[in-house]
Amino acid sequence: MNTIEKKSENVRYRLVDHWRAVAIILMIFFHFCFDLDVFGHIDIDVQEDLFWWFLPRLIVFMFMMAVGISLRLVHKNGLRLRKFWPRFVQLIFFAMTITITTYFMFPKSWVYFGTLHCIAVCSALALPFIQRPKLSGALGLLITIPALFGFNYPFPKMAHISMDYIPVLPWFGYVLLGIFIESKNWDKISYPRFKGDRILDFMGAHGLFIYVIHQPIMYGLIYGFYLLHRG
């Protein structure tokens, strides 16, 4: 592999990283409020309150779009399975870690198919569409539009209410739309640097790591605060 090819592998697009970083910030905010609710510090209703119902769906939408854009950025000139499989295995590992951890910590609402599970499955399903952006965009619209009007796609569900349940449909549709958007080069839109954007660069580039570690840290801190004040 020549130097130019090596450099092209390491190119990052700021808009994509910043998009992902904003999703991460919103996710941290949501989980922080959720944890406060668990310990009775605040009261949020994710079913009846429109803001709290909409926020997690916005976050998942942003993540899924980023997945599609990133897949095409990496594989648009041909599938690079040596790059795909390690990432896929990493996603599966962390997804199963979340499943096992929540099963023991929250037995009434443990995660059996959450965001990372969905991202892993959708990433594999999207591979045949990466070089077919027009088909990807059309199918993405075909999948997502009915859901916007209230259609619920069938997907296996367990009896308990999971704290994070993200079925493949309609969310796979947003991955497909992300593939189409990247084909139009919208992700390469440039804009001036601004104060703090290096933080967004970092968050976008290390999104999976932040996703995995942020909740155990926040939950532990809030739980410790709860124990101190209860005593």
Q: Which pair of structure tokens corresponds to residue 157? A: 């569900």
Q: How do the pLDDT tens digits run along the chain, 231 residues long?
A: 444 444 444 456 788 899 999 999 999 999 999 999 988 888 999 888 999 999 999 999 999 999 999 999 999 888 898 999 999 999 999 999 999 999 998 899 999 999 999 999 999 999 999 999 999 999 999 999 999 999 999 998 998 989 999 999 999 999 999 999 999 987 667 777 888 889 999 999 999 999 999 999 999 999 888 888 775
Q: Which pair of structure tokens corresponds to residue 180? A: 């189409």
Q: What single string gives the DSSP state of each residue in 171-228?
A: HHHHHHHHHHHHHTTGGG------TTHHHHHHHHHTHHHHHHHHHHHHHHHHHHHHHH
**Separation CA 71–CA 124 (nearest Å):** 10
3-state helix, strand, coil in the chain (%, to 5): 70, 0, 25
Each domain of the chain, given as residue ranges in start order, spans: 14-225
Contact 68, 177 (CB under 8 A): yes
**Separation CA 20–CA 15 (nearest Å):** 9
What's the gap between Cα 152 and its chain centre? Answer: 20
Number of H helices, E strands in the chain: 9, 0
